[in-house]
Chains A and B, each alone.
Chain A
Amino acid sequence: MTSTLDRPDLAVPAPKRPATRERLTWRQRLGRFDVKASPYAYISPFFVLFGLTGLFPLVYTLVVSVHEWELLQGQGEFVGLENFANVLQDRFFWNSIFNTLSIFLLSTVPQIAMALVIAAVLDQALKARTFWRMSVLLPYVVTPVAVALIFSSMFNEADGLANNLVGLLGIEPIQWKHDTLASHIAIATMVNWRWTGYNALILLAAMQAVPRDLHESAAIDGAGTARRFFSITIPSIRPTLIFVIITATIGGLQIFAEPKLFDVSSAGGIGGYDRQFQTTVLYLWEMAFFRQNFGEAAAIAWLLFLLIVGIGLINFFISKRIATAEGRVIKKRTAKRLATKEVGK
């Protein structure tokens, strides 16, 4: 994402100073003040508000995390890194990390794969194009809470729609709310349902930016649809693809509403009786408001932050390498094709 910063900067050149250091008129001085001060005036509302609502909590979380701090009793003794040590030794914390990553993988991989296929299908001269695009996007208008209500009902173990359909295939009812893997699949299904179409549209936008010449020349070369999809479309939209993966990661690591509402009746809505689908954010909620331990909850918040930054960095470096390598390949290919086919610009 930061790569965009390197773009040529087209900022207004600084106003030239008057050649002679004469006394400026009142109006000129006001004008200079205007030029100098305005940028700060424009950015200051953002920074003031952001400092209060974004930065201050960040620092304060750190303060809370090194103290004994209870919901009702408030600030207690300074305990150093004890809260962090406790959390890191807590099997429920690691359980929540495992669940988060598992749900994240189960939602991201099929989601991106399906989004790619749908985008490729939409990237054609379709009849009723807008209708199909809208049908793909429809789930996006259903909020995660509503999605959770709908799907937790569908995934009811004894007689929900999912098990009824599974039953038609002659398969035993699946323990969607008790079994670890099944519950992860169910929650991933909610995420996938809501986001696949949305991501498909983003990928579609990227696909439409791929030069048509590439497809045409490949088609003339005799490359089939599937081959062109893998050798032209996918490489060309790779930056967008990686972006979609990164955003899905950030979103996926913060899942809360779906596991919170998937099975409210057991154990106070903390993600299953055995925490089998408790995500880290849900664990953070449990620690803070169910177990009322703000100190450890703050430590969880920081560890989650580090995890997201860590995965973000991994993503970034991988994507940067792939993007540059791919960029070179594409450029070469394009140049070659354009040269051989003598297709003018």
Chain B
Amino acid sequence: MKLSRRTTAAAALAGAAAISLVATGCSSNSGGGDGETIELTITTFGTFGYEDLYTEYEEANPNIDIVANNIDTGGNARTDLFTKLGAGSGVSDIVAIEEGWLGAIMEVSDQFVDLTEHGIEERAGDWVDWKYEQATDPEGRVIGYGTDIGPEGLCYNGAAFEAAGLPTDRDEVAELFGGEDATWERYFELGQQYTDATGKAWYDHSGFVWNAMVNQLEEGYYTSDGELNVDGNAELRERFDQLAEATTNGQSAAQTAWDWNGGKSFVDGTFATFVCPGWMLGVVQGQLEAGGGGPDTGWDFADVFPGGAANWGGAFLSIPTSSEHPEEAAALADWLTQPEQQVKQSAAAGNFPSTLEAQEELAANPTPNEVFNDAPTGQILASRAEGVVAQYKGPDDSIIQENVFGPALQALDRGEADGDTAWQEALDLLVELEVE
């Protein structure tokens, strides 16, 4: 028996463990040692552009220590938040909620602090009215400070347009798509021309286009009084068929959302247009960086959107009742959503503010966005926000978007289903996932 060697290994393990116990023991002490410092945790998702604001707030409030956590996508943030709500702990002091799953949150709105206790009513006039209304539950409790909204414009790749003989100037592009009267019909028609001429795809994948098409309807997957309305919804079906035809004809690049091949598909001209809610501009920027591309890749942003004004997404900052520092958390969330900060956030992440003052500021002071060929993205978004109406979001809205129509449209993208079978697949999934 080679006893000594094995015991050496065991001793090594024990030693390492002991060191770690000591090490972590020390660090946890230093964390909670100063009684006056309050640690506030905040969980956001996607591209929020808050990093500099955290630093600024910490400098102004030395007793506050912000611990930030960011989750990749709104969908994953939803799972994360619900798991923690279910666990009864672990929810950050401030948590970002996406408009798409606000409906699900509203079902458990009593787990969030009523912000009227922290004076949000006085600020009601700050936001576009529908944003404030969205955050109000049936009992009149307000559970979220609005951060941004998601008015949609059209991102397009100027270089790709030029190669296909399309105009590249953003005003001309807006005109090309029909300006104020832009329709999806026109969008797909141009797409077919482009695809036929170049052999390349027009849009990245059907899912996002579909989101845009649904989100701009007065009523989406639910009626305004909360009834699920997908099966037999002629308006939805008509749009779905429109999209299915275009995709079947090769207009979709069948990309994986949130991956886009590590951003490379944004750089190498895989697709020429992209539906861009304000917050998506930051995503595109990140994808370009990840894919090794810069402003020279030719992306631009036009003041036009097929089918008229549309809103996709936007978020709220909420405070769970489990927070130990609701007062301080409310103060921070309040500060982060002030017009002044929203302008800074917009500059950092490209998203579009939900307060009127910040919107006016962006509209009045066009700032060139160098990632998008110096387009005044803030100003364009302000223009795109005109006429946006809030759509009622049901409890399972985001599930329908991601897990019902998501797979169906992927099958369509990959040529594994035609329009009819994809629609049927979506209806089947709707039943199987027990969507309410």
Contacts and interface: CB of A to CB of B under 8 A. Distances in A.
Interface of A: 71-72, 90-92, 156-159, 177-178, 263-270, 273-275, 289-293
Contact of B82 (A72, A177, A265, A269): A72
Interface in B84-106: 85-86
B264 A159 contact: yes
A266 B414 CA distance: 15
B257 interface: yes
B73 interface: yes
B258 A265 contact: yes
B249 interface: no
B257 A265 contact: yes
A289 B410 contact: no
Interface residues of B, number: 29
Interface in B102-127: 108
Contacts of B414: 178
B79 A158 contact: no
Given A90-B432, A91-B432, A289-B82, A267 B407 contact: yes
26 contacts: A71-B83, A72-B85, A72-B108, A90-B432, A156-B261, A156-B262, A158-B265, A159-B261, A159-B262, A177-B256, A264-B76, A265-B257, A265-B259, A266-B258, A266-B259, A267-B402, A267-B406, A268-B76, A268-B79, A268-B403, A270-B403, A273-B410, A274-B407, A289-B79, A291-B433, A291-B434
B256 A263 contact: yes
Given A265-B257, A266-B258, A275-B407, 13 more contacts: A72-B82, A159-B262, A267-B402, A267-B403, A267-B407, A268-B78, A270-B403, A273-B256, A273-B406, A289-B82, A290-B79, A292-B82, A293-B434
Contacts of A268: 73, 75-76, 78-79, 402-403
A265 B283 CA distance: 14
B72 interface: yes
B75 A71 contact: no
Contacts of B83: 71, 289
B347 interface: no
B46 to A, nearest CB: 12
Contact of B432 (A72, A92, A292): A92
B86 A72 contact: yes
B190 interface: no
Contact of A274 (B259, B402, B411): B411
A265 B402 CA distance: 11
Contact of A269 (B76, B85, B265, B432): B76
A32 to B, nearest CB: 35
- Give chain B's interface secondary structure class: helix
Contacts, number: 71
A42 to B, nearest CB: 21
Nearest to A157: B261
A273 B422 CA distance: 14
Contacts of A156: 261-262
Interface in B243-294: 256-259, 261-262, 264-265
Contacts of A269: 76
Given A158-B261, A265-B73, A71 B86 contact: yes
B432 A265 contact: no
Given A156-B261, A178-B414, A289 B86 contact: yes
B72 A265 contact: yes
Contacts of A159: 261-262, 264
A273 B76 contact: no
Interface in B421-436: 432-434
A261 to B, nearest CB: 12
Contacts of B73: 265, 268
B432 to A, nearest CB: 7
Nearest to B270: A158
Contacts of B257: 265-266
A265 B85 contact: no
A16 to B, nearest CB: 34
A291 to B, nearest CB: 7
Nearest to B268: A158
A250 B432 CA distance: 29
A269 B433 CA distance: 16
Contact of A266 (B256, B265, B411, B433): B256
Nearest to B265: A158
A274 B410 contact: yes
Given A91-B432, A264-B72, A274-B410, A292 B86 contact: yes
A57 to B, nearest CB: 16
B177 to A, nearest CB: 29
User: Which 6 residue pairs of A and B lie closest in terms of their CB atoms, listed nearest first?
Assistant: A71-B86, A265-B258, A158-B261, A265-B259, A273-B410, A268-B75
Contacts of B411: 274
A267 to B, nearest CB: 6
A195 B256 CA distance: 31
A269 to B, nearest CB: 7
Nearest to B73: A265
Nearest to B85: A72
Contact of A273 (B86, B108, B264, B407): B407
B16 to A, nearest CB: 14
Contacts of B82: 71-72, 289, 292
B140 to A, nearest CB: 22
A275 B407 CA distance: 9
A290 B101 CA distance: 13
Contacts of B256: 177, 263, 265-266, 273
